[in-house]
Amino acid sequence: MFVRPADPDDALEVRRILDGAMLEPGAVEPRIDAGDVLVAGDRRGESTTADRAESGGDSSIPGKPSHDRERRLGALVLEPRERNAHVAAVAVRRRHRGRGIGTALVERALEREGRLTATFDDRVRPFYDALGFRVQSLDDGRYRGVATADDRIGDTVG
């Protein structure tokens, strides 16, 4: 499995993943450009555009890594804040849930940012609990969670 910052070529897949989870974090492309979106998935025969040129494929940008053989299975969108980053959305394709993809995305974001906040509903609270988020109830029936890089990450879920 890989987790990496999204690039502009990932925008459509990121939107599809988020739409599949019925999440609307706003405009994805500016967040990708700012480095605030992570993608996770697996690779099937990783190649570069130079490799594809040798085999008759597209060679428009020699040496640029190609994501053509990557399956993007999850995405995480961050909103930068003054003292931390906020998880605006985290989603994994339905067929691939429960394999640690969401956990890997949040762990990478936490490693990078040092402190994360998230606002979520009851159905995903176990996910955030397992990741070591300190959770408090909000007035509207939702929850707010906070985690720092020093917090213990729980068992793999996701």
Report yes or no on 156 lying in a domain. Answer: no
Report yes or no on 108 lying in a domain. Answer: yes
- pLDDT, position 63: 47
Report yes or no on 157 lying in a domain. Answer: no
| Stretch 139-148: mean pLDDT | 94
- pLDDT, position 111: 95
**Using 50, 70 and 90 to split pLDDT, how confident is the model at 7?**
very high
74/63: higher pLDDT: 74
Query: Which structural domain range is residue 118 located in?
Result: 2-46+65-148
- pLDDT, position 64: 45
Report yes or no on 158 lying in a domain. Answer: no
What is the DSSP track for the chain? -EEEE--GGGHHHHHHHHHHTT---S-HHHHHHTT-EEEEEEESS--BHHHHHHTT---SSTTPBP-TTEEEEEEEEEEE-SSSEEEEEEEE-GGGTTSSHHHHHHHHHHHHHSEEEEEE-GGGHHHHHHTT-EEEE-TTS-EEEEEETTSPP-S---
Report yes or no on 57 lying in a domain. Answer: no
Q: pLDDT for 49-65, tens place per residue?
A: 433 333 333 434 444 45
Report yes or no on 55 lying in a domain. Answer: no
Report yes or no on 9 lying in a domain. Answer: yes
Report yes or no on 32 lying in a domain. Answer: yes
| Stretch 15-43: mean pLDDT | 95
Q: pLDDT for 83-130, tens place per residue?
A: 889 999 999 999 999 999 999 999 999 999 999 999 999 999 999 999
Asked if residue 74 has pLDDT above 60, the reply is yes
Q: Structurally, how many domains does the chain consist of?
A: 1
| Stretch 136-143: mean pLDDT | 93
Q: What is the CATH number of the domain that holds 71?
A: 3.40.630.30
